[in-house]
Structures are given as C-alpha cells and as structure tokens.
Amino acid sequence: METLATRATVAPEAVEPRARRRRSALPYVLLAPAALVLALVIGYPLVRLVLISFQDYGLRALFSGRTRWIGFANYTAVLHGDEIVPMLVRTALVCVAMAGGTLLIGTGVALAMRALGRRMRTLVTFCLIAAWAVPSVAATMLWTWLFQPTYGVVNWMLRLGQYDWTAHTVSALLLVWLLVVWQSVPFVALTLYAGLSQIPGDYYEAAALDGAGYWTRFRVITVPFLRPILLLVTVLSVIWDFNVFNQIWLLTGGGPDGATTTLVVWSFRRAFASQSYGQGAAIAVLATVLLTALTWYYVRRLVRAGEVA
C-alpha cells in the first residue's frame, strides 16, 4: 500500500515535465510547415545566388552550363568600382525619403480617420484598400499614362505642355517617390489607425482637463502607445522601399543618367544588360547582407520596445 501511495504521489510530478516539454515543442511543430515552404521557396534561390556570385557566370555559362570558380573576384570588382559609393548613398537617400514620406503621410491619414465620422471613415478605408490592392505593375503603367508628356492628364491639368517627367533628375525622383508612397500609405495608415483605436479615450480626456494641447497629447499619449507599431511599420517600409524595382524600372529605367538607379536596379542592369550574372549576383548578395543588418537593428529595437511596454 505504501508503494502504491508513493507511486500515486510521484506520478503527477513525473508527468508534468513531459507535458511542459510537449507544450514548448508545440509552436515549433505548428511553424514547421511554413518554415519548410520558406526554405524551399526562398532558401534555394538564395543559396543559388550566393554560388553564382563566386563564379565567372556570363552569357557563355548561361548557354553551356559550365562555369569557372573565381572566388571573391566579383565582390572585388564591385567594391573597388567607382559606382559602389554613389549607389549606396543614392539607395539610402531614396529609401529614407520613401519610408519617411510613407510614415509621415500614413500617420496623418490615421489621425484624420480617427477624427472622421463612421461613414466617411468607411469610405476612406475603402479607398485605401482599393489603392493598396492595385498590383505594382498595373499602378506603374497607370502612373506612366498620367504623366505621359504628350497626352498625360497631369501635364494638361498643370499646363506644362509636353514636359517629360522622366528626363529630369528631380522630376524623375519625385515621380518614383509619389508612386511608391501612394502604394505604401494605405498599409501604414490602416495599421496605425488600428493601434489608435486601442488607446483608451480616458487618457485624452484627463490630459485635456489638465490643459494639455493637441501636440502635447500626441507626444505624451499617442506616440508612446504607438511606438511598437511605428517601429514595425518602419521595418516593413524600409524593407519594401529598399527592394523597389518594378516602379523604378518601368517608369524611368534607372535614368536619367542613373539618377534613379538603386542597388536593386544596379544588380539587374549589371546582370542582364552587361551579361555579367556573377557581378549582378554579388551586388544582390551585398544588398541582402546590408538589408539584413538594418532589419536586425530595427527588430532588436522593436523587441525592446515590446518588453518595455
């Protein structure tokens, strides 16, 4: 009887660690299918890209299938070239301008949506979702028609005659910026509005009774509550804007005189225009490493903000 009682007492304690291990392993089991799909869809092309960056992969290798390993020669040619520094500076400036404009306008739209009535807010939400749902290629073609020099609606409305927006540096950059921000604002605005709707109204009422103005309430209440969401949309905006290709390539082709050529466009041109796939792959790998380091920094800040909150 003592043995049975002892076993009955010990058994639950022995089972508890097993149940705890099963619970801890459950998230990994649920994530395993998605991780496997990502490894096949993203992992293999990425590994193949890295391998090509170490090879003398040109037009001949593309048809013959035979390549020659040249080590870091492609990376040396890219890093020691005259284009790498201007390209990095231009990419950083374009990315900051796009992400900054998206966050600024998206935050303004989110704040305006909270101040609107139900019907107007529903209408604005529908318009944002409609703009967000348009594919990038279709939106770029629409932008091309709107700003077409001969019969474009924008030139007709502004009475600019046959002004070619893509032939001048400032107007070409402005054209790309407008398109990318127009496509990115809906996601940021809807995400921030969802965060704003979770802030209790009592905080604003108490601040108003204490005499706090609008900007003080925005700085003291709104920004701290939205900090994790702002960091999240900042990370996503930087990733998207860093990888913008369709809009730039279809609108300007990287011109005029390379004014709108970023790292992604440069990689494509070096690979397919110059038939130097090895150097194009090396540029893509460098861009991936740079973007990964930048994303890692923002994700660390996002995690810390979540822990503080």
HEC per residue, 175-208: HHHHHHHHHHHHHHHHHHHHHHCCCCHHHHHHHH
Residue range 95-131, pLDDT digits in tens: 999 999 999 999 999 999 988 888 999 999 999 999 8
Beta carbons within 10 angstroms of residue 164's beta carbon:
16
Q: What is the mean pLDDT of the chain?
A: 86
In whole angstroms, give the CA distance from residue 24 to residue 178.
Answer: 47
User: How many residues are recorded in the chain?
Assistant: 309
Task: Name the 3-class secondary structure at 117.
Answer: coil
Task: Name the 3-class secondary structure at 27.
Answer: helix
Residue range 221-266, pLDDT digits in tens: 888 888 888 888 998 999 999 999 999 999 998 888 889 999 999 9
Q: Kindly report the backbone phi and psi dihedral angles of residue 69, in degrees, each rounded to the nearest multiple of 5, phi listed first.
A: -75, 130
Residue 216 confidence (pLDDT) above 60: yes
- Residue 298 near residue 235 (C-beta atoms within 8 A): yes
Task: Name the 3-class secondary structure at 276.
Answer: strand
Q: If you compute the radius of gyration of the chain from its CA atoms, what whole number of angstroms results?
A: 26
pLDDT for the residue numbered 4: 47
DSSP state of 42: I
pLDDT for the residue numbered 19: 62
Residue 308 binned pLDDT confidence (cut-offs 50, 70, 90): very low
In whole angstroms, give the CA distance from residue 284 to residue 57.
Answer: 14
Q: Helix (H) and strand (E) counts for the chain?
A: 15, 0
- pTM: predicted TM-score of the whole model, two decimal places: 0.83
In whole angstroms, give the CA distance from residue 36 to residue 26.
Answer: 16
Matching residue, tokens 């996601």: 187
In whole angstroms, give the CA distance from residue 102 to residue 182.
Answer: 8
Query: Residues with Cβ < 8 Å from 305, sequence gap 6 or more?
Result: 227, 228, 231
Residue 306 confidence (pLDDT) above 70: no
In whole angstroms, give the CA distance from residue 67 to residue 52.
Answer: 9
Amino acid at residue number 308:
V
